[in-house]
Chain A
Amino acid sequence: MRNRVREQRVQLGLSQAELGAALGVSRQTVISIENGRYLPSLPLAFRIARFFDLTVDKMFDPDDEETGP
């Protein structure tokens, strides 16, 4: 599953650690989500989408299957 986390984070000029702190997760988890190695839970997916002021389906693209959690 592709996502736009990295793209949105870079647009806001945030570091992975800053985004992690804002979302209440570790920097490693932000890296894993950005690389598609970890699929966030639904509550975290909503937190991410709301943080970037987007909808979940705009943030995560289910058509591009990569890896699961």
Chain B
Amino acid sequence: MMRSIPPRLRAPVNMLVGGAVIDAIAATVHGPAVLLYFVPITLAAAAGYYVLGGREGDFPDMLRSQSDERQAYRQLKIQALVGRVTTGAAAIAFLIAFAAKATIWPFLLFLTIPCATSFAGWLIYRERPGAGEQHAGH
């Protein structure tokens, strides 16, 4: 479905759909009054992404899903940084919650997910020996 949407519109459409879901959940839980704050934020974010998507640069190219190898590599490094910082923050939050004798399972969950994902990554992206490839010493 996303392929039928012009590249420049993909990120804004994602934001609108995701925002609409969040808005609906917020309205259900807290009442329709919260939409006065949530809907403008969703619309502004989608519009902002649309405007950015029309410009030249690494970020607009990424928004249009038109990253070249350097931009994809940069994106990977950014994602890795986000992962490291998030995991570090979860570890610190876990220690604080543990010391304060607060509920620790949410923080434990956020620590378990990166560990499990890391293990899954080693399995998914492992190098498989090609046909006819021999191990050293054989």
| Interface of A toward B, CB cutoff 8 Å | 24-29, 32, 38, 40-41, 44, 69
Contact = CB atoms under 8 A, between A and B. Distances in A.
B55 to A, nearest CB: 12
B56 A25 contact: no
Interface of B: 56-58, 61, 68-71, 73
Nearest first, the 4 closest Cβ-Cβ pairs linking A and B are A25-B68, A29-B70, A38-B70, A29-B68
A26 B69 CA distance: 9
Contacts of A26: 58, 61, 68, 70-71
A41 B61 CA distance: 19
A25 B69 contact: yes
Contact of A28 (B57, B69, B73): B57
27 contacts: A24-B68, A25-B68, A25-B69, A25-B70, A26-B58, A26-B61, A26-B68, A26-B70, A26-B71, A27-B56, A28-B56, A28-B57, A28-B58, A28-B70, A28-B71, A29-B68, A29-B69, A29-B70, A29-B71, A32-B70, A38-B70, A40-B69, A40-B70, A41-B69, A44-B69, A69-B70, A69-B73
A38 B73 CA distance: 10
Contacts of A29: 68-71
Contacts of A38: 70
Nearest to B73: A69
A40 B70 CA distance: 8
Nearest to B67: A26
Contacts of B68: 24-26, 29
Nearest to B57: A28
Contacts of B61: 26
